[in-house]
Structure 1
Amino acid sequence: MKEILKIRNVYKEYGIKGFKTQVLKGISFTVEEGEFIAIMGPSGAGKTTLLNLLSTIDKPTKGEILLESKDITKLKSRELSQLRKDSIGFIFQDYSLLDNMNLMDNIALPLALGCKKSKEIEEKVIAIADTFGLKEHLKKYPYELSGGQKQRGAAARALITNPSVIFADEPTGALDSKSSSDLLECLRRVNEEKKATIIMVTHDALSASYTQKVYVLSDGEIKCQVGKGNDRKEFYGRIIDLLATLGGTR
């Protein structure tokens, strides 16, 4: 399979000399095209820091991060901007939809910024909205949508450009259990049917059970990984047992 991301011996420190805090300590792993990965760990383990590095929001203190064979730690601002536009999708916990745009325009925004033709944009929005169960809500504004609908809209927007990798930061953190399962089922389907590559930070074992592989961080290091078998419930049980052994995720 094609390698999408390669992380080599990544470190991240904050602070000044003599007062430095080491958040990540030699992280290394590879993400292949079509993988759906969860990153878990206790509060302060470095999950969000790692996600920020992988998604080009921040830079490591040391180490290499290769996205489609390009070392993103060495790219200039203009090259990074182009990479974000072409290759990266991001799902935030707080939806980040624009209140003055209806759902169709929110989902279409990345394509509109890329100067695509209006007919092509409309066709793509309708197709992705259908995948996320939002086709009947495209004319509604964010204040008219439930939290689950807004988050599925945010996910559709992240996927509309067919990015190489989608990063999701606690995407179910503000949702109830029904809305969470609806979103995760949509992401699972997109991953399986469209081979979308997804990396998700989550504290929730049930959310992680929808993925194919879980990396568990603790004290800035990857302590272990667990892969999915044939049964999601069995996978969920193994994640719970693993987290109990390591002392939970909060």
Structure 2
Amino acid sequence: MKEILKIKDVSKDYGIKGFKTNVLRNISLTVNEGDFVSIMGPSGAGKTTLLNLMSTLDKATSGEIILDGIDVSKVKNKELSKLRRDKIGFIFQDYNLLDNMTLMDNIALPLALGKKKSKEIEDRVIEIAKKFGLANHLNKYPYQLSGGQKQRGAAARSLITNPSVIFADEPTGALDSRSAYELLDSLDRINKENNATIIMITHDPITASYSNEVYMINDGNIKCKLNKGESRKEFYQKIMDMLSAMGGEL
């Protein structure tokens, strides 16, 4: 099984000598190709910091982060933008769609920046839009779309380049229940059908239950790892039980 992301003894400190804050302490985990992983924990536990380190948006104080065979600590700043473009997809809570572009153009943007041929771009956009239930909305602008449609559009854009890994930061945080389920069903389908590797930060047990593994993080440390098994309903209950054991606050 191919390793997509390997983190070994990663720590992150902020501040200067004598006034340092240890946000993460000796974090280690491995994500394989096709994994769907959630990271949960209370506010201030270090979830977003960990996501930023894994996705090369920030640098670790110590430890190793290997992304698809590349030691990101040794990649120069000029090469990081290419690494993100080729290897990483992002889904943010606030969509980040461009208002003056149609949904088709928003989804196509990463390929257009990569100077792909227009026919190839169009075919790829239509293909992925169908997987997210957006085929009939491609000529609309973001203001004409619901929150759920915009978030699924952002997810489609993150996948358009076939990245090695997709990082999702609270992707359902701004959505109503129905829109959240539609997005999660789409991500689940993409994970299973396209073998997409997804790492998701979430505070919501229902959202986390769509993944195959959940890491619980608190006080800068991984407290435990939960594996899904067969049933999403049983996995949800397992997550709830663990949250209760940890104090129940996210």
- After TM superposition, the score normalised by the length of structure 1 is 0.99
- CA deviation string 1:151-208 (max 9, x = no partner): 0000000000000000000000000010000000000000001000000000000000
2 CA distance for matches of 1:139 and 1:82? Answer: 29
1 CA distance for matches of 2:155 and 2:73? Answer: 26
Runs of 4+ with deviation above 2 angstroms:
none
Q: Unaligned stretches of 5+ in structure 1? A: none
1 CA distance for matches of 2:248 and 2:223? Answer: 13
Q: CA deviation at 1:116?
A: 0.4
2:73 corresponds to? 73
Give the secondary structure class of the aligned counterpart of 2:184. helix
The one-letter code of the counterpart of 2:32 is E
2 CA distance for matches of 1:44 and 1:247? Answer: 15
2 CA distance for matches of 1:29 and 1:230? Answer: 23
Q: What count of residue pairs does the alignment treat as equivalent? A: 250
Superposition pairs of residues 1-250 of structure 1, within 5 angstroms: 1-250=1-250
For the 8 Å contact 1:148–1:180, the answer to whether it is kept is yes
Give the secondary structure class of the aligned counterpart of 2:112. helix
For the 8 Å contact 1:209–1:239, the answer to whether it is kept is yes
Give the secondary structure class of the aligned counterpart of 2:133. coil
1 CA distance for matches of 2:117 and 2:70? Answer: 29
Q: CA deviation at 1:249?
A: 4.2
Identity over aligned pairs, percent: 69
Q: CA deviation at 1:77?
A: 1.3
For the 8 Å contact 1:41–1:248, the answer to whether it is kept is no
Give the secondary structure class of the aligned counterpart of 2:29. strand
Give the secondary structure class of the aligned counterpart of 2:120. helix
1 CA distance for matches of 2:187 and 2:248? Answer: 25
2 CA distance for matches of 1:8 and 1:162? Answer: 26
1 CA distance for matches of 2:121 and 2:138? Answer: 13
- After TM superposition, the score normalised by the length of structure 2 is 0.99
